[in-house]
Amino acid sequence: MKTKITLLNKTYQFSNLKEILAKANEEKSGDQLAGIAAKDAQERLAARHLLADLTLNDIRNNPVLAPEEDEVSRVIENSINEKNYQSIANWTVSDLRETLLSDTTTDIEITRLRKGLTSEMVAAVTKIMSNLDLIQAASKIEVITQCNFPIGYKGTLSGRAQPNHPTDSIQGIKASLYEALSYGIGDAVIGINPVIDNAESVKQILQMTKEEMDRFIIPTQNCVLAHVTTQMRAIKNGAPSDLLFQSLAGTESGNKAFGISVELLDEANDLIQKEGTSAGPNLWYFETGQGSELSSDAHHGIDQVTLEARCYGLAKKYHPFIVNTVVGFIGPEYLYNSKQVIRAGLEDHFMGKLQGLPMGVDVCYTNHMKADQNDMENLAILLGSAGVNFLIGVPMADDCMLNYQSTSFHDIASVRSVLGLRPAPYFEKWLEKMGIMENGKLTERAGDPTIFM
């Protein structure tokens, strides 16, 4: 494998693939914090030139984290279809980029390609793609999944209703849920982040959301984003959960910090298949986000884009209904400003889609990042153009429980309106029945939560 490159008269020597991958990244404060980022713009470009010229074979043969040492590596390695891989093994990363962007490469062709790609190859090509490249390539890929009802069709944009409350008040959660539904949001999932991580509390929230879904015959699915073991206990106690949720990391040790392992996920998967309340076949909701491995000191010197791609490699094993990258939640030490958040959002969406995942993005920021609501609106429109499956809907974008800002119900309605996107088909029919939407447009009645009282 080539590790040395001379650009004009300057020579750059890298020690291994891991270093090339890290230094080829767009500037991210997380890579700088980890001490693996390019030291200047030219070194970054040197790494990127070298990376563009490496073959997929080079990448597979030089694992950033050996399968013997890490179960996530093993899951990714085991998922490869050897025939498909062999047909592209000699492609350079540049070839892969140009193929993905070529007019003649269709979604069907990408489906075939994907079977031969490892997460590291996906990360590699992402590093040599511009923002518009990421949008263009991702927009070709349609990933349709079904829990109770299918979402992800081209021309649609779904929303997660995220009616969180600072003390898990059932009434308070319900109030924000009504507001979400009245704006046509909630087709991806009604998903609550609980404050209290215990089975009884989780069960109560699941029961309330299920009752509301039954009362108004809402074509969607419910979920409470507690730790997977808490949800398992709640389900065993009879809680009506359509989806299982878990946060994922791109390394075994990162997952250990989350209190999970592949074995635990397998066990949970068995449970939801047997005792979940939904039609399926897709019964998981995963969340990821660049920087989480570094924050738990489980990054093994690997850059955060590559680690993020590996999360998707692990997610794929469980055929999730939705995957959400919480792109700006983690803080400025990983993504410093809006430029980095926007880049990461587009990268994650593309990397997930290329690996066949139903990607949504929590377009968000915390108050100590150099970003504001305008930046989120920009990224939301970019992702809408890229064909993102869903965005997160929070009342006026301000999550009063998690203390960060995301996208609002208004924002999702606006992205739909500007780009001519519709809610998921069954949900749109329901909105019409409720008098909230007509011909893809909100009616006079929309925005009034009391219609559900």
Partner 1 sequence: MNNKVIKSVGIDIGTSTTKLMMSDLTLGRVSSQFALPHFDIIERKVTYVSEIISTPLINEEEIDLTQLVAWLEKEYLQAGLTISDIQSGAVIITGETAIKKNADALIHYLSERAGDFVVAIAGASLEAVLAGRGSGSYEHSMKSKGIVANIDIGGGTANVVLFQQGKILETITFHVGGRLIEINPSGKVLSISPSIRPWLFSKNLQLEKGRLLSLTDLTKISTALAVDMLDCLAGKRSIHSLDLLVHSSSCEALPRIDEVMISGGVGQLTLAGPPSSIEEAAKYNDFGPLLATSINQKLIDYHFQVIKPLQTSRATVIGAGMQTTKISGATISIQANRLPLRNIPVIKISLSVEEIERNLLIGKEMFGSNERLPFAIGLSGSVYLTYEKMKDLSLVIGTLYHKYFPRSEILVIVCENDMAKALGQALQLQFAFDVICIDQINIGHGDYIDIGEPLTETIVPVVVKTLAFRGESNENKNNFA
Partner 2 sequence: MNEGQIELIVQKVMEQLQKRFTPDHNIARENVKEIIEKGLVFREQDWKTSIPQPAFKEGVAELTASTPARIGVWRTGTRPLTKTMLKLQFDHAAAIDAVSSEVLEKYLEEFNLFTVETCYENKEVYLKRPDKGRVLTDDAVDTISSRCQKRPQVQIVVSDGLSASAVETNLKDVYPALIDSLKINNLSFGTSFFVKGGRVACMDHIGDILEPEVLVLLIGERPGLVSASSMSAYMCYRPRKGIIESDRNVISNIHPLGTPPIEAGAHIGTVLRRMIEQKVSGVKLEL
Positions that interact with partner 2 (CB under 8 A): 29, 32-33, 163-166, 169, 171-176, 178-179, 183, 331-333, 336, 366-368, 372-373, 394-398, 400, 403-405, 408, 410, 413-414, 416-417, 442, 445-451, 453
Give least dist CB 203 to partner 1, A.
Answer: 10
Q: What are phi and psi of 278, to 5 degrees?
A: -105, 170
Choose among partner 2, partner 1, none what residue 398 binds, the Cβ cut-off being 5 to 8 Å by kind.
partner 2
CA atoms of 363 and 353, how far apart (whole Å): 17
Question: In this complex, which beta carbon is closest to partner 1, that of residue 69 or of residue 200?
Answer: 200
How far is residue 314 CA from its own chain's centroid? 12
Instruction: Give 404 or 430: the residue with its C-beta nearer to partner 2.
Output: 404
Nearer to partner 2, 148 or 253 (CB): 253
Which residue, 188 or 413, has its beta carbon nearer to partner 2?
A: 413
CB of 294 to partner 2, least distance (A): 11
CB of 432 to partner 2, least distance (A): 17
Give the one entry of partner 1, partner 2, none that residue 200 binds, where binding means its C-beta sits below a cut-off of 5 to 8 angstroms depending on kind: partner 1
Instruction: State the SS3 of 42-55.
Output: HHHHHHHHHHHHCE
Least CB distance to partner 1 at residue 164 (A): 12
Q: Give the one entry of partner 2, partner 1, none that residue 405 binds, where binding means its C-beta sits below a cut-off of 5 to 8 angstroms depending on kind.
A: partner 2
Judged by beta carbon, residue 88 or residue 161, the one nearer partner 2 is 161
Q: How far is the CB of 29 from partner 2 (least distance, A)?
A: 5
Torsion angle in degrees (nearest 10) through CA of 79, 83, 89, 94:
-80
Tokens of 317: 């094993």
What is the DSSP track for 345-399?
HHHHHHHHHHTT--EEEE--B-TTSB--HHHHHHHHHHHHHHT-SEEEEBGGGEE
Q: Tell me which residues touch partner 1 (CB under 8 A).
A: 167-168, 195-198, 200-201, 453
Looking at beta carbons, which pairs linking 13-18 to residues 24 or more positions away fall under 8 Å?
Answer: 14/47, 14/50, 16/62, 17/54, 17/58, 17/59, 17/62, 17/64, 17/120, 18/64, 18/301, 18/302, 18/303
Q: How far apart are CA 140 and CA 66, in angstroms?
A: 32
- Residue 324 contacts which entry, partner 2, partner 1, none (Cβ below 5-8 A, type-dependent): none
- Residue 320 CB, shortest distance to partner 1, in Å, is 27
Closest approach of partner 2 to the CB of residue 379, in Å: 16
Which listed option, partner 2, partner 1, none, makes contact with residue 201 (CB within 5 to 8 Å by class)? Answer: partner 1
Number of CB atoms found within 10 A of residue 62's CB: 17
User: Would the CA dihedral through 427, 432, 435, 436 be positive or negative?
Assistant: positive
Write out the two tokens for 290.
């660049």
Out of partner 2, partner 1, none, what residue 196 binds, judged by CB under 5 to 8 A for its kind, is: partner 1
